[in-house]
Amino acid sequence: MPFVNFATKEINCKIVYYGPGLSGKTTNIKWIYDHIKPENKGEMITLATETERTLFFDFVPIEVSNVRGFKVRFHLYTTPGQIIYQASRKLILKGVDGIVFVADSQEERHDANLDTLDDMIENLREYDIDIASIPLVFQYNKRDLPNILPVDVLRRDLNRWDRPDFEAIANKGIGVLETFKEITKQVLKTLKKNT
């Protein structure tokens, strides 16, 4: 649910990049951050402990002028991917307005994709969020590596809700912007419908 700041006339929307460890969530966020004009973004913040890392930054896109007289500000978060950080991932989902599920296309990482997706569904359920109703985009990352699963298999096993999905090579920026534009479009559409 977006946070509305009446004093600054801003609507703050939270987008979370969720996926298994080393799937490319951080790479996506850093690529986006590096390609947004400095005057439209805040500082990138890394919350790091000895064993996990979460990235956060916010920005105001220039294409989105306003929603009912309010500026829209997007806050982008990554989650720690390793399964032992389930509590951190759940906490980051609190108040989420849209999710990008970043899957690792490598065959040997498929079980991790499935486990992480199940974990995400359960965490959303605990916040009374139905995955079928929240803006959601799937990204099949690392398409340039050997031993990758066909997109049809990834789509069948992960994208059970027939949501928009994109192939990506995030470390080269391929598919990153397309994924990002789609999730922001969905979040804005939901926001405009509900205001």
What does the pLDDT read at residue 68?
A: 79
pLDDT of 100 over the 60 cut: yes
- Rounded to whole angstroms, the Cα distance separating 32 from 194 reads 27
For residue 62, what pLDDT band results from cuts at 50, 70 and 90? very low
Phi and psi at 37, nearest 5°, equal -55, 140
Cα(45)–Cα(38) distance, integer angstroms: 15
Mean pLDDT over all residues of the chain? 88
